[in-house]
Structures are given as structure tokens and as C-alpha cells.
């Protein structure tokens, strides 16, 4: 058996816990780890809490000591708490014992930040310890039964995993300092409690409405399939038989390619951008069918299965540093990507007697682009409070702002966001439904009006190609690795153009998560969802005005910490349903 990195005291009574609290109170940092009987606090309990300082680890048997109040102050204030995947531990401690861990240092998040968006390495504790400390941890006890009588091996394992957090934090903190990532690490650590509690709160789905919508969308899908098939000739000698469904497998690229060939159209592939360039109405019909099929298979059919029996709510999993830009990702299920249409969002509701406070940043990524490019027309437009999409349309089409049509504003919006994401004339023209020459002309006109935006985007892409790294306003780093193969060069340049903008948006959103969560403490209100620049809070109905104001102030504060040249605007709405 591998030796422990420190001695440990097993604590099974209140007196021992009080003694441990006195010892821990004066520490500069404490390693913290839990052993639980399940991976979810809705289905299991905390069995052990391990608390490590140099040369000593306390292993607290929570089955024997249910009152953790002696160590509550130490865990909620004072020394830095070092954890691996702190969101997990925070959920159990907050759910079962009302303890909010603070301040924290998360070794998993620190390692992910240092890798600058690379996704190849494992971020399990044993992998990080081996990379940074050359220590090998035996994790075989991880899958043991932690609800029964504990063995010496289990206690030793628990103590060892916690003790290693102390030297690991020292090494990671040294690297964060060296790579100038301390500020962005603080932002990530500050968002952990908010994300943990947001997952615990979950969202409520009106299942009856959802099922009705599923029936409606399935009918639309079937009509779309019939409409699509109507464009293709019937095979010779085969009569259509009513009720037998589509003749084609509409999800088979080969059958779709063959069907379009029968119309005299050769498709290179059946990807969206290829179909957008096809003028035949069958291409549009196929895209419509696919979108409806996706809504059924991705959202409407599976989502009710995620409702937890005990809570009656969906508890998704938010991933904090899995996306290179720093944006949150979401799984099981992805409640960030619910379609924007009211018919979908109205199915997500507040509990009886509660409302949803829905807050989002107004055009935050365009404001960031104005900030980093320092384009005077962009900056001044936001300072005046102009509608930037309308202004862009007016300048590009040479008409007064009050004469800009809805379609012109829509085109300008696509161009504003498309160029920020590094789109070229080909993809932009396909999205606008025009030819490539017209797309190029619109881009040229755009950059003629916003020349510093063009210089910023080009210089950013060039810097990424030269230095292989980029940073956001908060210092988040993106490492692009080795020289790309020729086919990937364009993709890398597009990623490079977008990273400082989307990355800064992620930094602001994560700052805001922490600030909003703190502002809601003591109120019957809680964050239940975060969709990049939009937050959803569920609160008691009579608190809606107060919660709206606190949420707006917290989000504005976060934005103003990173944006100096342009104002920050937050729009807030209150509704029983998730729609404005």
C-alpha cells in the first residue's frame, strides 16, 4: 500500500471536530476533499470530509458527526480551500449542510486554464498530480462502497488524495503567476459556487406543454418530409402507398445525394453551407426537415427523461473550462441551447408563487469588439445608445436610419456577427441568400465604414499565426499549438479573430455569475440557468423588483470591470415563463 503524504486523525465526535477547527483556523490554505455515497447530492450523502494542512490531515466521519457547525466558519471564510473539481464538493456541502465554500482554489480549473484551451489532456486529480508533481496516485478505492464500515485502505486513500492538494496548489499557483493567469483564475474560482448552486436548483419543465409541442413539431416534421419527397421523381414501377412513410431515408447522405442527382443537381456533400448555395427549393425543404427532426430528437423527445423524481426538476451539468473561449458548456441535458422560439421557452416555468427574472447583456460581444478595436464609429454608436445593427445597415445601404428596412437590419446583424466570427464572402453570402460577389461587396462596404475593426481582426489573426497565443481583456490565454496544416489555416484564423471577443464575453459572464449569486444571498431567489450572456433567476413573486435591480447592478458591475470605453447595458424582464 502506498504511504500517505501525511499523518491523519480520524474524527468521529464533536469534541474532536472542535479541536480540528481550532487547528485549521490559523492555516493559510486547507486541502478539502469529500467521499460520498453517490455522484449526486440528490441521490447520496457525504461520508467523509478530509481537511489537510502541512503534516496533518483530519478525516471526519460525517455519518458519526452530523453537525458540522464547528468547521462551518473555516470552510466559508478565512483560509483558502484547495479542491479538485470544487463544484462537486460545494454541491454536497451546500445541499446537505448549508455550507458555501469560500475562498477556493480549484486545481482542475487551474490546470485547464494553464493549457490554454487544449482539450487532449486528462484533468482528473491523478493526471494533474503526475504532470505537475510527478506523483502517482492509486485511485482504485474510488469505486469502493463508502456507505459501509470503512477500511484502513479507504481512510488512507482519502487522506492521501487530500494531502496532495497542498503541494499541487503551490505548483499550479506558481505557473498561474508565471503565465499571468491569476486574474482569470480568480474569475473562474469565483463562479464555482454560483454554478454549483444553479445545478442544485435546476429548472422546471411544464411537461404537459412540452408533450403538446412534441406532437405539433412531429406533425410539422412529417409534412416537411412529404413536401421534400414531392420534389423527387417516383421510382419506375413503384406506386406511392399512403401511410407507409417516406420512400427515402432522409437522414442518409447517400440517398439524399442520389435524389438530388435525379434533379440534375450534383451535391459535393449534404452539409448546411452546401445546401444553402443550392437554388432548387428541395434544398430549403431538406434544411427545414432536418431542423424539425433535430428539435424532436435533441430536445422534445429526451428532455422529460432528465426530470429528477425527487425534485421534479431538470438538473443539468455545467462544464466550466471545456470550451477554448472560456464559455460554459452544458450537458445532461444542454439547457443552454433550447430553441429561442416562444413555443419552446414558454415550457420552462417558475414554481407556483414564483417568477423568473430574465436578464441579458445588450449586444455584449459587439461592445467588446468596439472596446478592443477602438473603432471610433463603433464606440460612439454605443455611447450614443444607437441601434448598431440599424446604424450599420444605414451606412452600408446609404439610407437614413429611420428608413432602414427590417431585411436590411437583419442583413447588417448577420454581417456584424459574421465578420466578428471570421466569416468570409462565401459563407456570408450563403447565409444572406445572395451571390458571393454581392457578399464580398457588402464586406468591403462594412470595413470601409469600420476600418479599425478590420485592422483589429486581421492583426489578431496574424498575431495568433505568429505567436501561437492570444489573450482576452481579463488575461485568459488561448494556445494554438503547432503550425496548422494548410487546410486548417483558415479555421485557425477564424478562431483567432473570435477568441478575444467571445473569451472576454465569457470572462464578463463568469464575473457576473459570482456577483449575482452573492447579491441574492438571504433572498428567496436563486440562479437557475446561464445562457452565455443571459441569466435566469427564479424568485418569490413579491421579490421580483428587488431581485431585478440586484441582478442588473451585479451584471453591470461585472461588465464595467472589463469595459472602459463603451457603456454596459443589461435588459431585465419578469415572467412566469422563460420568455420576454
320-360 per-position pLDDT tens digit: 999 999 999 999 999 999 999 999 999 999 999 999 999 99
The model's confidence at residue 236, banded by pLDDT at 50, 70 and 90, is low
Mean pLDDT along residues 287-311: 96
Structural fold of domain 8-179: Nucleotidyltransferase; domain 5 (3.30.420)
Per-residue model confidence (pLDDT) at position 238: 44
Mean pLDDT along residues 47-76: 95
Q: Please, what sign has the CA dihedral across residues 100, 104, 108, 112?
A: positive
The model's confidence at residue 277, banded by pLDDT at 50, 70 and 90, is confident
Q: Which helix (H) or strand (E) holds 541?
A: none
Please determine, looking at this structure, whether the domain spanning 314-364+507-575 carries the CATH number 3.30.70.370.
Answer: yes
| Cα 235 to Cα 453: distance, rounded to the nearest angstrom | 54
* Order of strands across the sheet that contains 104-106: 8-11, 56-61, 46-53, 29-36, 80-83, 104-106
The model's confidence at residue 529, banded by pLDDT at 50, 70 and 90, is very high
Per-residue model confidence (pLDDT) at position 486: 47
| Cα 158 to Cα 142: distance, rounded to the nearest angstrom | 9
Per-residue model confidence (pLDDT) at position 1: 30
**Sequence-ordered strand ranges (E) for 327-413:** 329-331, 348-349, 354-361
Per-residue model confidence (pLDDT) at position 102: 96
Residue 551 in this model has a pLDDT that exceeds 90? yes
Of 358, 349, 317, 346, nearest to 334 (Cα)?
A: 317
Per-residue model confidence (pLDDT) at position 241: 41
Gyration radius (Cα) of the chain, Å: 27
Strand-strand pairing, 80-83 and 104-106: parallel
CA angle 559/562/563 to nearest 5° reads 75
Mean pLDDT along residues 109-123: 90
Residue 244 in this model has a pLDDT that exceeds 80? no
CATH 1.20.1060.10 residue window(s) in the chain: 207-303
Mean pLDDT along residues 356-373: 96
Per-residue model confidence (pLDDT) at position 4: 44
pLDDT, one tens digit per residue, over 424-441 is 777 777 777 777 787 788
pLDDT, one tens digit per residue, over 137-167 is 887 777 778 888 889 989 999 999 999 999 9
Per-residue model confidence (pLDDT) at position 7: 79
- State the cell numbers at 514: 459570482
Name, of 50-59, 115-124, 433-442, the range with top average pLDDT: 50-59
Of 528, 496, 526, 512, nearest to 560 (Cα)?
A: 512
**Full-model pTM:** 0.91
CATH 3.30.420.10 residue window(s) in the chain: 8-179
Q: What is the CATH number of domain 207-303?
A: 1.20.1060.10
The string of DSSP codes covering 6-51 is: S-EEEE-SHHHHHHHHHHHHT-SEEEEEEEESSSSTTT--EEEEEE
Residue 239 in this model has a pLDDT that exceeds 60? no
Q: Which long-range contacts (CB under 8 A, 24 or more apart) does 130-137 make?
A: 132/168, 132/171, 132/172, 132/175, 133/164, 133/167, 133/168, 133/171, 135/164, 137/2, 137/161, 137/164
Q: What is the CATH number of domain 368-473+483-497?
A: 1.10.150.20
Residue 408 in this model has a pLDDT that exceeds 90? no
Q: Are 574 and 358 in contact (CB under 8 A)?
A: yes
Beta carbons within 8 Å of 406's beta carbon, 6+ residues apart: none
Residue percentage of the chain with pLDDT more than 70: 95
Give me the chain's average pLDDT, please: 91
| Cα 560 to Cα 211: distance, rounded to the nearest angstrom | 42
Amino acid at each position: 500500500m502506498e504511504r500517505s503524504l501525511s499523518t491523519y486523525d480520524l474524527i468521529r465526535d464533536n469534541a474532536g471536530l472542535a479541536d480540528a477547527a481550532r487547528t485549521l483556523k490559523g492555516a493559510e490554505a486547507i486541502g478539502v476533499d469529500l467521499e460520498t455515497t453517490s455522484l449526486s447530492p440528490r441521490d447520496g450523502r457525504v461520508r467523509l470530509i478530509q481537511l489537510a494542512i502541512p503534516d496533518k490531515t483530519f478525516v471526519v466521519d460525517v455519518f458519526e458527526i452530523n453537525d458540522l457547525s464547528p468547521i462551518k466558519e473555516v470552510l466559508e471564510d478565512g483560509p483558502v480551500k484547495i479542491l479538485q473539481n470544487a463544484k462537486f464538493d460545494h454541491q454536497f456541502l451546500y445541499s446537505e449542510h448549508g455550507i458555501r465554500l469560500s475562498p477556493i482554489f480549484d486545481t482542475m480549473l487551474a490546470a485547464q486554464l494553464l493549457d490554454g484551451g487544449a482539450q487532449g489532456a486528462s484533468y482528473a486529480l491523478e493526471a494533474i498530480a503526475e504532470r505537475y508533481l510527478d506523483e502517482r496516485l492509486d485511485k482504485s478505492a474510488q469505486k469502493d462502497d463508502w456507505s459501509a464500515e470503512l477500511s484502513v485502505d479507504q481512510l488512507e486513500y482519502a487522506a492521501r488524495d487530500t494531502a496532495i492538494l497542498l503541494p499541487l496548489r503551490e505548483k499550479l499557483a506558481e505557473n498561474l503567476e508565471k503565465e499571468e493567469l491569476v486574474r482569470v483564475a480568480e474569475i473562474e474560482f469565483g463562479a464555482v459556487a454560483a454554478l454549483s448552486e444553479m445545478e442544485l436548483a435546476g429548472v422546471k419543465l411544464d411537461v404537459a406543454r412540452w408533450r403538446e409541442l412534441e406532437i405539433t413539431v412531429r406533425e410539422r416534421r412529417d409534412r416537411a418530409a412529404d413536401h421534400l419527397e414531392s420534389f423527387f421523381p417516383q421510382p419506375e414501377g413503384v406506386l406511392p402507398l399512403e401511410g407507409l412513410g417516406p420512400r427515402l431515408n432522409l437522414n442518409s447522405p447517400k440517398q439524399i445525394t442520389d435524389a438530388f442527382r435525379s434533379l440534375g443537381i450534383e451535391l459535393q456533400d449534404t452539409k448546411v453551407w452546401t445546401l444553402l448555395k443550392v437554388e432548387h427549393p428541395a434544398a430549403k425543404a431538406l434544411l427545414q426537415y432536418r431542423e424539425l427532426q433535430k428539435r424532436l430528437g435533441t430536445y422534445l423527445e429526451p428532455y422529460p427523461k432528465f426530470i429528477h423524481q425527487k425534485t421534479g426538476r431538470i438538473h443539468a451539468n455545467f462544464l466550466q473550462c471545456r470550451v477554448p473561449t472560456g464559455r460554459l458548456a452544458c450537458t445532461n441535458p444542454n439547457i443552454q441551447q433550447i430553441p429561442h422560439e416562444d413555443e419552446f421557452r414558454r415550457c420552462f416555468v417558475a414554481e407556483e408563487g414564483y417568477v423568473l427574472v430574465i436578464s441579458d447583456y445588450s449586444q455584449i460581444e459587439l461592445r467588446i469588439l468596439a472596446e478592443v478595436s477602438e473603432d471610433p464609429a463603433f464606440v460612439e454608436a454605443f455611447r450614443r445608445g444607437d441601434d448598431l445593427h440599424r446604424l450599420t445597415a444605414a451606412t452600408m445601404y446609404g439610407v437614413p436610419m429611420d428608413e432602414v428596412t427590417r431585411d436590411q437590419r437583419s442583413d447588417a446583424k448577420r454581417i456584424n456577427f459574421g465578420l466578428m466570427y471570421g466569416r468570409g464572402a462565401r459563407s456570408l453570402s450563403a447565409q444572406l441568400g445572395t451571390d458571393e460577389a454581392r457578399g464580398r461587396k457588402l464586406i468591403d462596404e462594412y470595413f470601409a465604414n469600420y476600418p479599425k475593426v478590420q485592422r483589429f481582426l486581421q492583426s489578431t489573426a496574424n498575431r495568433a499565426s505568429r505567436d501561437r497565443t492570444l489573450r482576452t481583456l481579463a488575461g485568459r490565454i488561448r494556445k494554438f499549438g503547432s503550425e496548422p496544416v494548410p487546410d486548417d489555416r483558415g479555421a485557425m484564423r477564424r478562431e483567432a479573430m473570435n477568441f478575444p471577443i467571445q473569451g472576454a464575453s465569457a470572462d464578463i459572464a463568469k464575473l457576473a455569475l459570482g456577483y449575482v449569486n452573492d447579491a441574492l444571498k438571504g433572498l428567496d431567489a436563486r440562479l437557475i440557468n446561464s445562457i452565455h450572456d443571459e441569466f435566469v433567476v427564479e424568485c418569490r413573486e413579491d421579490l421580483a423588483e428587488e431581485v431585478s435591480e440586484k441582478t442588473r447592478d451585479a451584471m453591470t458591475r461585472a461588465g464595467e470591470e472589463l469595459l472602459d470605453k463603451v457603456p454596459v447595458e443589461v435588459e431585465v424582464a419578469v415572467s412566469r415563463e422563460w420568455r420576454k
